[in-house]
Amino acid sequence: MVTELVLDRVSVRFSLPGVTVAAVNDVSLRVRPGECLALVGESGCGKTVLAHALLGFLPGNAQTAGTATMTGEGPPLDLLAASDAVLARTVRGRRVGLIPQSPATHLTPVRTARAQLEEAVRVHHPAETSPRDHAHRVAARAGLTPDDLDRYPHELSGGMAQRVANALALVGDPWLLIADEPTTGLDRDLVDGLIGEFRRMVDEGRAVLLITHDLAAAQRVADRIAVMYAGRIVEIGPAGRVLDAPRHRYSRGLVDALPDRAFTPIPGQPPLLTDLPAGCAFAPRCDQSAPVCAERPPLTTERPPPAGDPAGAGEDPVRAADDHAFACHLPC
Ligand SMILES: Nc1ncnc2c1ncn2[C@@H]1O[C@H](COP(=O)(O)OP(=O)(O)OP(=O)(O)O)[C@@H](O)[C@H]1O
Ligand code: NI
């Protein structure tokens, strides 16, 4: 069975005293082998929460809905329903690796980078006769020298901690690498090196989910781009299509904000996730909004349904997301 991860109407809510935060809303998409999918959107739109949901890292006040089904080895596994024990034993670091956002806070403070990396080698490669050499090889791929590994987390700069986190995520050769803002604090050469790692993984038939608010970074490596706004995917499609001919007006705004394009930011602020409008959440910032935008636009594709498929991709959000799809009543 082909290895893939299918998110079908995934939502995440946080209960706080008196309010509910709707952080992720009805996200449907497929992560396919041999591709890098970039998830882009402004700060606070729900990218990290979605990544944490897939790895079972949500806090106790979170509730999820929908399914995130991983197929491949063994029977299909819904990552949202799996127990912590199953996720720890079979998923985290093995089938799904995470480069966490703000990596310094995820390193164990009392152990050197070397101790943490060599332990990860022992866990993921029990037959390895020289965990030390193996750790050096992975470290080199992330831009670290053997000397760097002798430091404790508090002795690492932000960029150095990022490299250690990147190395730790690469050790287990995960099928899917979720990289949450992995280039923070890295200079140009290291960004190039990391992008090379992502391409290598993808060329080997594995997958990368690159989370970034930086569309320019996505442009360099992504095969497909998903644009998130207020917890919802508002556009998804092949990178070239989304960048060169975006259909949603929020995607258009992100593209226009790129330094090599118009370099004009989108005016206004995203809505509060505790008080989302019933219709299009982008309408208050959209210069084309109309009365119809008070109704929620579904994620649809313009491509006609294949012959003999009366339901059509438009009826199935996962299949719509396989194509170039967008959620806008008045697309560009
Ligand atoms: N434990 C929690 N309880 C309540 N709300 C939370 C919790 N964790 C996250 N949120 C809220 O969920 C929303 C989405 O946060 P998230 O960290 O996923 O954003 P993001 O897209 O990753 O942003 P950034 O680009 O800044 O990393 C935010 O409004 C955040 O305040
Ligand atoms: Ni984040």
* Helical pair 113-124 and 158-171, crossing angle rounded to 10 deg: 10
Q: Which CATH superfamily is domain 4-103+175-304 in?
A: P-loop containing nucleotide triphosphate hydrolases (3.40.50.300)
Residue 165, phi then psi, degrees to nearest 5: -60, -40
Q: If DSSP codes are grouped into helix, strand and coil, which group holds residue 74? A: coil
pLDDT in tens, 161-207: 999 999 999 999 999 999 999 988 888 888 888 898 899 999 999 99
- What pLDDT was estimated at residue 306? 61
- Of the candidates 162, 81, 170, 68, the residue with the CA atom closest to the CA atom of residue 117: 170
Whose Cα sits closest to atom 10 in ligand 1? 23
Query: DSSP for 175-190?
Result: SEEEEESTTTT--HHH
Mean pLDDT of 76-105: 93
pLDDT in tens, 266-315: 999 999 999 999 999 999 999 999 999 999 999 988 766 666 655 554 46
Query: What's the one-letter identity of residue 327?
Result: A
Q: Which of residues 7 and 188 earns the better pLDDT score?
A: 7
d(CA 255, CA 265): 9
* Predicted TM-score (pTM) of this structure: 0.93
Rg of the Cα atoms in the chain: 20
Residues in the chain: 332
Burial (0-12, 13-18, 19+ Cβ within 10 Å), 271: middle
Using an 8 Å Cβ cutoff, are 249 and 282 in contact? yes
Verify whether ligand 1 is closer than 6 Å to residue 164 (CB atom).
no
Structural domain boundaries in the chain: 4-103+175-304
Retrieve residue 182's tokens. 């992995």
Q: 67 falls in which pLDDT band (50, 70, 90)?
A: very high
Verify whether ligand 1 is closer than 6 Å to residue 53 (CB atom).
no
Mean pLDDT of 152-157: 92
- What pLDDT was estimated at residue 313? 46
Mean pLDDT of 26-36: 96
Q: Which atom in ligand 1 lies closest to the alpha carbon of residue 45?
A: 21
The strand pairing partners of 12, in sequence order, are 24, 64
- What pLDDT was estimated at residue 309? 58
Element (H, E) at 195: helix 188-203
216: pLDDT strictly greater than 80 = yes
Burial (0-12, 13-18, 19+ Cβ within 10 Å), 325: buried
- What pLDDT was estimated at residue 310? 54
CA atoms within 13 A on the CB side of 110: 0
* Residue matched to tokens 């030390």: 132
Q: Residue 83's Cα: distance from chain center in Å?
A: 22
Å from CA of 11 to ligand 1 middle: 13
Mean pLDDT of 232-259: 95
- What pLDDT was estimated at residue 38? 97
Q: Which atom in ligand 1 lies closest to the alpha carbon of residue 58?
A: 1
5: pLDDT strictly greater than 60 = yes
Verify whether ligand 1 is closer than 6 Å to residue 47 (CB atom).
yes
Element (H, E) at 202: helix 188-203
For 158, 184, 217, 243, the CA distances from 187, given in Å and listed in that order, are 11, 9, 13, 24
Verify whether ligand 1 is closer than 6 Å to residue 43 (CB atom).
yes
Which of 13, 21, 25, 184 maximizes ligand 1 atoms within 8 Å of its Cβ, making it the mutation to test the pocket? 21
- What pLDDT was estimated at residue 77? 96
Whose Cα sits closest to atom 2 in ligand 1? 14
At CA 155, angle to CA 154 and CA 161, rounded to 5?
Answer: 75
Q: Which of residues 320 and 228 earns the better pLDDT score?
A: 228
113: pLDDT strictly greater than 60 = yes
Whose Cα sits closest to atom 14 in ligand 1? 46
Whose Cα sits closest to atom 24 in ligand 1? 43
Element (H, E) at 83: none
Q: What is the mean pLDDT of the chain?
A: 92
